[in-house]
Structure 1
């Protein structure tokens, strides 16, 4: 697949949320062409629930943005705690490469310990494994379904203004924080 000079991307991140079980968690999707903001979608998932994959699909399928996108980025593989995204199903449903971007290599043992305190931990672990291997390329850490890792690393480079967070994910984080708390957070 050939990468255009300004890839169009939707980047999803959750906003700050209440820690109580079953809390509604805001989900922010920012659409960018390269590093330029072009649009926004807003949804909700449940803390530690099961609807993250369906909600991202609901926000994009049938909307004006999906046909324009070259890939979909997620800030991590789960929203609202451990509402884990089924990355292969997301990529298959959207017909676009889907990428879980991480700031650093995750502590998989700590994640598994935390998952053991939630309902259906084996199913959550299965979803984590289905996301595929974790790649570290071009200064980025990610999992991908629907594209080659080298292509994704090049796309992430074009989508990042500075550091190792693509602009769509950085903006989703800042917007979610500002809407929920009244100001954007320090770390984006």
Structure 2
């Protein structure tokens, strides 16, 4: 993956949602060129559902942003609780590197225990494992498909203003929480 001076990347994060089964969860996608805001897409996924991969694709396929993008970032591998994104399928459908960014390495035993409380736990766990190994490069923790860990580390560094949260994900978090609650949350 050869990066331009200002790589154009979209970052997806879910907004706050009620803890009721099957509720619609807001999904914000923010496009940045480098660290500069360029655009926004808005959609929904089901809490603990199965439509996260399709929802992201639906927001991008046929739209103006997809041809411009160098990569797609997700805030974690799941939205709305455990609506797990199929990362290899997402990368194949969009024909772009796709990256699930985490703030820290997850406690996989705790994640698996939580998944076991939901229907079709084995299928959810399999999607999680298909996303690939968890990498720690240049201070970032992530899973990736469609690019090498070193390329992704370089990309994440280029689109991060400060700290270890890439700007598209930081903005998606702030916008998602502001639209739902009326103000942005403190943690991004």
- TM-score interval, smaller chain: over 0.9
Q: 1:184 and 2:174 equivalent?
A: no
* Aligned ranges 1:127-138 → 2 under 5 Å: 127-138=127-138
Q: 1:3 deviation in Å?
A: 1.1
Deviations 1:139-167 (A, max 9, x none): 00000000011000000000000000000
| CA distance in 2: counterparts of 1:177 and 1:122, whole angstroms | 31
Q: Does 1:143 align with 2:160?
A: no
| In structure 1, C-alpha distance between the alignment counterparts of 2:100 and 2:58, rounded to whole Å | 18
d(CA) in 1 for partners of 2:163, 2:50? 31
CA distance in 2: counterparts of 1:170 and 1:163, whole angstroms: 11
For residues 1-188 of structure 1, what are the structure 2 equivalents within 5 Å?
1-188=1-188
Q: Secondary structure at the match of 2:44?
A: strand
Q: Secondary structure at the match of 1:183?
A: coil
Q: Distance in 2 between matches of 1:3 and 1:172?
A: 22
- Tell me which stretches of 4 or more aligned residues in structure 1 moved more than 3 Å: none
CA distance in 2, matches of 1:121, 1:31: 33
TM-score by length of structure 1 reads 1.00
In the comparison of the two structures, how many residue pairs are matched? 188
**Unaligned 5+ residue runs, structure 1?**
none
Give the deviation of 1:5 after TM superposition. 1.1
Name the CA distance, whole Å, in 2 between partners of 1:39 and 1:167.
Answer: 13
Gaps of 5+ in 2: none
Deviation by residue 1:33-88 (Cα, 9 ceiling, x = unmatched): 00000000000000000000000000000000000000000000000000000000
Three-state SS of the structure 2 residue aligned to 1:31 is strand
Q: Deviations over 1:111-140 (max 9, x none)?
A: 000000000000000000000000000000
